[in-house]
Structure 1
Amino acid sequence: MLLQKKFTVDFLTKKQQINEGQVPQYYVENSHPAIITPEEFDFVQSEFQKRCVKPYSSTSIYATKIICGDCGSYFGAKVWHSNSKYRRVIYQCNSKFKGSHFCTTPHLYEPEIQEKFLQAFAQYFSQKDVVIKNCQFALTRLKKQESKKAELQDELVAVNEKLKDYIQHGGEDFDTLNAKYEELSAQLDAEETAESDRKCRIAKMQKILLTLKKTDSVLETFDESVWNAVLENLTVFHDGSLVFLFRDGMEVKV
């Protein structure tokens, strides 16, 4: 929370003015009890960013999860014979018939996707102890990575104060100060992106650990929550083979 974004200029009339440096501002963190964990929050923010730059549909758990091995496009749901008793829903490459190149990847049915996932998860689960150990190691390494965000923010504030002082009194070369400010701003943006990515990866590792620890045996039926928690994506190739990429980086071909 940023305090004193505005300040009162007349206590009798209660008139307020936007704070443009006239009075100090303060950041307050952890002032209220969290209703979700910070890791979950960071994970959701990462999803928001991902969905802004990639086409996304919330109509299916398979949306933006299945990738065409020919062109890299997502698979989408298509309805065959929608007005007859032969109505079927299939999943195929969204770009299969676009342009002059036709993708040769086959279409999939939902029961087929679920069955193949169960097979891949069985192989993945057979290495449960190794996966848990690797995730715990990755978590430790990610949490030890130090952020330069606070240091860059302090430098940025210092340069900004010099710019304000220049505007009022002159002094150092304005172009040099402004170039330094732009450089620090770019570095801070990059650091914030890296920190957001790091927090997202931490959230993914924690979600895998939680799912595997509460799963006692190989799945006998498809579980949507497990699909969402452990699977990054599924790539379909022209020969019909499927490669499941799990969130910790392990690949399983079925």
Structure 2
Amino acid sequence: MKRNIIKREVFDLAHVELDKLEKKRQTSNIFTGRLYCGACGASFGSRVWHSISKYRTIYQCNGKYKGEHKCQTTYVTEEAIKAWFLSAINQLLSNRDEIIANTELLIDMAKDTTPLESRINDLEHHLETIRQDIEDLVDRNARKAQNQNLYQEQYDTLVTAY
């Protein structure tokens, strides 16, 4: 039996958004759209300043000129960003073995579906019990005259639980 986890429309909309993100990533500048302002949350974009200067490419908050409340964050040079990036990479590399071990542990934990399978079995058993109760209720109603309001109330309760 084929099951859909999400509706087709949601799936299609998600892929439209992913395609938009992919197009944004196809820029020639590696840091564009990947840095975010700590003050306003807008992304940083690259700007070319003084084409003959050593500060030729700078990054500036895209919220600097938007709306009533313009962001006051100053620019950042590409050299500073590269230095931050290298520092972060070096920190990661110094903890490389620990990061790999933790990642492998997380993968192993994600692979173990025993608790989920147990929960599914419990729920399936519970559904079968409710289904049997509904069947017994209907059978009892067919064989013996009962208060139909009470029967309908019990039936609705069981169907809702199912």
- What TM-score does the superposition give when structure 1 sets the normalisation length? 0.34
- What TM-score does the superposition give when structure 2 sets the normalisation length? 0.51
Give the Cα–Cα distance (whole angstroms) in 1 for the partners of residues 107 and 63 of structure 2: 37
Structure 2, gaps ≥5 residues long = 1-13, 118-162
Partner of 1:111: 79
Identical counterparts, % of pairs: 35
Give the Cα–Cα distance (whole angstroms) in 2 for the partners of residues 102 and 57 of structure 1: 26
Partner of 1:123: 91
Larger fraction in strand = 1
Q: How far has the Cα of 1:62 moved from its partner?
A: 1.0
Per-residue deviation, residues 106-130 of structure 1 (Å, max 9, x unmatched): 3222221111111122222222221
| Higher RCO (CA-CA < 8 Å; seq separation 6+) | 1
What one-letter code is carried by the residue in structure 1 that aligns with 2:82? Q
Larger fraction in helix = 2
1:95 to 35, 56, 63: 63
Partner of 2:47: 78
Instruction: Report the count of equivalent residues.
Output: 103
Give the Cα–Cα distance (whole angstroms) in 1 for the partners of residues 16 and 112 of structure 2: 26
| Larger-Rg structure | 2
Q: How far has the Cα of 1:101 moved from its partner?
A: 1.6
Partner of 1:144: 112
What one-letter code is carried by the residue in structure 2 that aligns with 1:81? H
Residues 124 and 53 (structure 1 numbering): CA distance in 2 closer, same or farther, change over 3 Å? closer
Residues 103 and 129 (structure 1 numbering): CA distance in 2 closer, same or farther, change over 3 Å? same
Structure 1, gaps ≥5 residues long = 1-45, 149-254
Give the Cα–Cα distance (whole angstroms) in 2 for the partners of residues 135 and 56 of structure 1: 29
Residues 47 and 115 (structure 1 numbering): CA distance in 2 closer, same or farther, change over 3 Å? farther
Give the Cα–Cα distance (whole angstroms) in 2 for the partners of residues 118 and 137 of structure 1: 27
